Amino acid sequence: LRARVALNPAAVVAPVSRRTFGSFVEHMGRCVYTGIYEPGHPLADEDGFRTDVLALARELGVTMVRYPGGNFVSGYRWEDGVGPREQRPRRRDLAWRSIETNEVGIDEFAKWAEKADVEIMYAVNLGTRGVQEALDVHEYVNHPEGTALSEQRRANGAEKPYGIKIWCLGNELDGPWQTGHKTPEEYGLLAASTARALRSAEPDLELVACGSSSSSMPTFGTWESTVLEHAYDVVDYVSCHAYYEEHDGDLGSFLASAVDMDFFVNSIVATADAVGARLKSTKKINLSFDEWNVWYLSRFQNAPLPEEWKVAPPVIEDRYNVADAVVVGNLLISLLRHSDRVTAACQAQLVNVIAPIMTEPGGPAWKQTIFHPFAKTAALAKGDVLRLHIDAPSYDTAKYGTAPLVDAVATHDPATGDVTVFAVNRDVANPVEFAVDLTAFGADLTVAESWTLTDDDVYAYNSKEVPERVTLRSLAEAGGAITLDGGAATLTLPHVSWTAIRFT
Ligand code: AHR
């Protein structure tokens, strides 16, 4: 089996957007409490943040973090989370049937974000709330001084405004499960009026309208079309959310999950552009893929939330295996390939809740398998994304029809001359050869580094006891191979594997 591609430095999709490597911290399960924040933990800093988690978030290469939800935000009152801690109310969180103590709010999260060196993407509640509350939280976080809410922030210890640039206008309001679920007309009007109001306060905010919660929603496409008919001129992004899982042992379909992500992106780009054409607008709406990951959602749907109302109960703490990590690496390949229109993305979520980082309360933190492809892609995808035309053998999948066995993307950094290829082999049993013609970059390129995630057991996983059961190895150590001859590279990619190779 052999796939081939020729790279061309002039075929540029777009520069790599650093916001592609976003993540998500929701007040959900143990993401905040005993995730990023655990005062009393031996490794907690003076603000109660776990320094082991901070170090892992930095190592992961996360650039932006969406906060505070998620479904949680659709019932959230942001003002509960500011001011003296002892006066903050405990509330029911209806989305996850738990108790929110409000010990962490925007001021604490902004401190954490500064320590983690990430940009905040802030989501406002358009489920149970509206324009006024969005304006209020904006005044609190971004207005410099001299107004009631900006002075309240300053009195609470943050003299300077946080300068949050990118704002989500609600969360998944197309979903019947969402508190305050809306029709596309209702949401389109609300998103447009909220966007207009926020823009009168700060014209150059970047605003994200809610798109579809998955490509299988019955309103997929029509939701975006209606919402954008109302909000096209005042928003910059429409959001996309997608979660993938292996169903009924169908590994072949699961490994082709990025086919759906490509379909999702292409469909919504076409939908947004069609609205733009109808409106005779020259403006383009970009996509914010601000929730994506592997999530064994069907297990969650089959196991109802606990009866008892608890603070930070464990919720959807999926344990990820090798195949999941290969899919995550492939989803990043898909996101990068669409860098001309997908200019922001958030893996959901960062810690404990369907997350690359796991913690034990009072105990250690460790990396799940999916940590590795994310961290290496964030570290190595530099410069421009190249447009590839891959000629690959294909296989039949039950879910997505015929899919290529090899998927890949490449980046070229004009500043250093480095070329990095990210590739997956979706074959469940066999290695595949991938011929990569790099001659357009000269004949003297060498392999600077290679990283592969694979295992004889595609269901192997990491745990607190064996945190390094699955890690990255060089392609050769992982059972593959690279030959390079005058700019012609041949990679042998092991079955069910994800690989990154930097040529310099
Ligand atoms: O990330 C978990 C949940 O998935 C989010 O709260 C919601 O937006 C989505 O349905």
End-to-end CA distance of the chain: 27
In the reported structure, the alpha carbon of residue 353 is separated from the centroid of ligand 1 by a whole-number distance in angstroms of 10
Residue 348 lies in a domain: no
CA distances from 326 to 53, 161, 270, 373 (A): 23, 40, 28, 8
Residue 326 lies in a domain: no
Reported confidence tier of residue 300, pLDDT bands at 50, 70, 90:
confident
Burial class (CB in 10 A: 0-12, 13-18, 19+), 420: buried
In the reported structure, the alpha carbon of residue 71 is separated from the centroid of ligand 1 by a whole-number distance in angstroms of 6
Annotated active-site positions, please?
172, 291
Closest residue (by CA) to atom 8 of ligand 1?
Answer: 70
User: Same structural domain for residues 427 and 313?
Assistant: no
Residue in the structure block whose two tokens are 């480095």: 418
User: Same structural domain for residues 69 and 216?
Assistant: yes
Q: Domain of 229: which CATH number?
A: 3.20.20.80
pLDDT score, position 348: 98
User: Same structural domain for residues 491 and 364?
Assistant: no
User: Same structural domain for residues 236 and 219?
Assistant: yes
ipTM of the complex in this document:
0.99
Residue 251 lies in a domain: no
Closest residue (by CA) to atom 9 of ligand 1?
Answer: 70
In the reported structure, the alpha carbon of residue 150 is separated from the centroid of ligand 1 by a whole-number distance in angstroms of 30
User: Same structural domain for residues 135 and 223?
Assistant: yes
User: Same structural domain for residues 169 and 197?
Assistant: yes
User: Same structural domain for residues 157 and 228?
Assistant: yes
User: Same structural domain for residues 376 and 400?
Assistant: no
pLDDT > 90? residue 299: no
Residue 258 lies in a domain: no
pLDDT > 90? residue 269: yes
- Give the pair of three-digit tokens for residue 110: 């902004």
Could you tell me what percent of the chain has a pLDDT over 90? 97
Tell me the pLDDT tens digit for each residue of 399-419.
Answer: 999 999 999 999 999 999 999
Q: Domain of 405: which CATH number?
A: 2.60.40.1180
pLDDT score, position 1: 81
Domains of the chain: total: 2
Residue 229 lies in a domain: yes
pLDDT score, position 85: 97
- Smallest CA-to-CA distance from 259 within 373, 466, 76, 403 is with 403
Neighbours of 252 (CB within 10 A): 19
Q: Does ligand 1 lie within 6 Å of residue 69's CB atom?
A: yes
Residue 91 lies in a domain: yes
Task: Read off the pTM.
Answer: 0.98
Q: Radius of gyration over alpha carbons of the chain, in Å?
A: 22
pLDDT > 80? residue 306: no
Please, what is the average pLDDT of the chain?
Answer: 97
Residue in the structure block whose two tokens are 């961290």: 375
Burial class (CB in 10 A: 0-12, 13-18, 19+), 61: middle
User: Same structural domain for residues 313 and 456?
Assistant: no
Q: Does ligand 1 lie within 6 Å of residue 349's CB atom?
A: yes
User: Same structural domain for residues 408 and 313?
Assistant: no
Residue 125 lies in a domain: yes
User: Any residues with CB less than 8 A from the CB of 265 and at least 6 apart, and which?
Assistant: 240, 287, 289, 334, 338, 341, 342
pLDDT > 80? residue 252: yes
Query: Counting runs of H as helices and runs of E as strands, what totals does the chain give?
Result: 11, 25
Average pLDDT rounded to a whole number, residues 364-380:
98
pLDDT > 90? residue 159: yes
User: Any residues with CB less than 8 A from the CB of 76 and at least 6 apart, and which?
Assistant: 27, 68, 69, 100, 125
Average pLDDT rounded to a whole number, residues 259-271:
98
Tell me the pLDDT tens digit for each residue of 214-239.
Answer: 999 999 999 999 999 999 999 999 99
pLDDT > 90? residue 266: yes
User: Same structural domain for residues 434 and 366?
Assistant: no
d(CA 153, CA 135): 14
Neighbours of 307 (CB within 10 A): 7
Last residue of a domain, one of 365, 380, 395: 380
Which residues span the domain enclosing 92? 17-245+287-292+309-319+355-380
User: Same structural domain for residues 368 and 490?
Assistant: no
